Copies of this chain bind each other. A is one copy, B any other.
Amino acid sequence: MMELTRKGEYAIRGIVYLASRPPEQVCLLSDIAAAVDVPPTFLAKIFQQFSKIGLVKSYRGTGGGFILGRAADKITLLEVVEAVEGPIIPNRCVISTGECPRDITCNVHPVWVDVQQKVRDLLNNVTLQKLAEK
């Protein structure tokens, strides 16, 4: 249960690698993919998602590539994971009140809310800087 997909793992590897490089140094996708051992076409899709929400900044054309969208200590693991895996939802019923038709009598509900919050807190306290440091 709760297993990160390949996509999620690749995403983390890729962006952590980027965070480990000198800031402002534009990195080729192909170089990143080779460095973290991920299929380049797949990583491309992932970085496109990152780019859309500003986690990375992309430059097209000759001399193009990627840099982090913000300082590595301002990007959390939570953001990275949720960017590619979607929100952390232990159960449908935590998405919104009323989603669960039995939520009035359901004693399980608060447990999932608790799980969700604990996990989010944990991931939110980890920055790319921490992950990238030697």
Contact = CB atoms under 8 A, between A and B. Distances in A.
B3 A89 contact: yes
A133 interface: yes
- The oligomer's copy count stands at 2
Interface of A: 1-4, 8-9, 12, 16, 77, 81-82, 85-92, 107-108, 111-112, 114-115, 118-119, 122-123, 126, 130-133
12 contacts: A1-B4, A1-B81, A1-B86, A1-B87, A2-B2, A4-B90, A9-B92, A77-B108, A77-B111, A111-B126, A114-B122, A118-B118
A73 to B, nearest CB: 14
Given A4-B91, A77-B111, 12 more contacts: A1-B2, A1-B82, A1-B87, A2-B2, A2-B88, A3-B92, A16-B108, A77-B108, A107-B130, A108-B131, A118-B118, A118-B122
